[in-house]
A = this chain, B = another copy of it.
Amino acid sequence: MEDNSSRVDSILRKLRQTGLRITPQRLAILKALSENKEHPGAGEIYAAVKAEFPTTSIATVYKTLAVMKTIGEVLELEFSNDYNRYDGNTPGAHPHLICVKCRRIVDPELASLDEMTEKLASETGYTIISHRLDFYGVCPECRQKE
């Protein structure tokens, strides 16, 4: 896995390549994203950024996240009830394990998904672009508290 700084660096490289500007706000947002492995929401990223860059606005956070999505460097996990969560560390599609009690989201190891995808494509004739696989459950910590 890439460490924080190399992750930020590779995103910066991609921004330059694409002709997008590197502003202090964007840097702070990227730093906050790469330091938080917990799939934060826009509000959490905003809070972290504002701590050291108080003039930042939530709109800028959203706009920056939108740009990152577009260039494929951030994965957005949509929820219609809860707020959306963002993953800046592993931008490719991968399974998530969501605790329904504490709402923590972790990235489990899981093979055999590629195989499943190929089979689906050949059986249905669809061109598969991406996927979303979320498991909902109760994490060991929350179960203990019951």
Contact = CB atoms under 8 A, between A and B. Distances in A.
A116 interface: yes
A112 B130 CA distance: 19
A136 B132 contact: yes
B110 A126 contact: no
A97 B124 contact: yes
Q: How many copies does the complex hold?
A: 2
A134 interface: yes
Contacts of A81: 78
Given A108-B120, A123-B108, A135 B139 contact: no
A67 interface: no
A124 B119 CA distance: 27
A112 B116 contact: yes
Contact of A137 (B110, B128, B140): B128
B100 A129 contact: yes
A109 B97 contact: no
Contact of A138 (B78, B123, B127): B127
B139 A126 contact: yes
B121 A110 contact: no
Contacts of A116: 110, 112-113
Contact of A132 (B84, B121, B134, B143): B134
B126 A138 contact: yes
Interface of A: 78-81, 84, 97, 99-100, 106, 108-110, 112-113, 116-117, 119-121, 123-140, 143
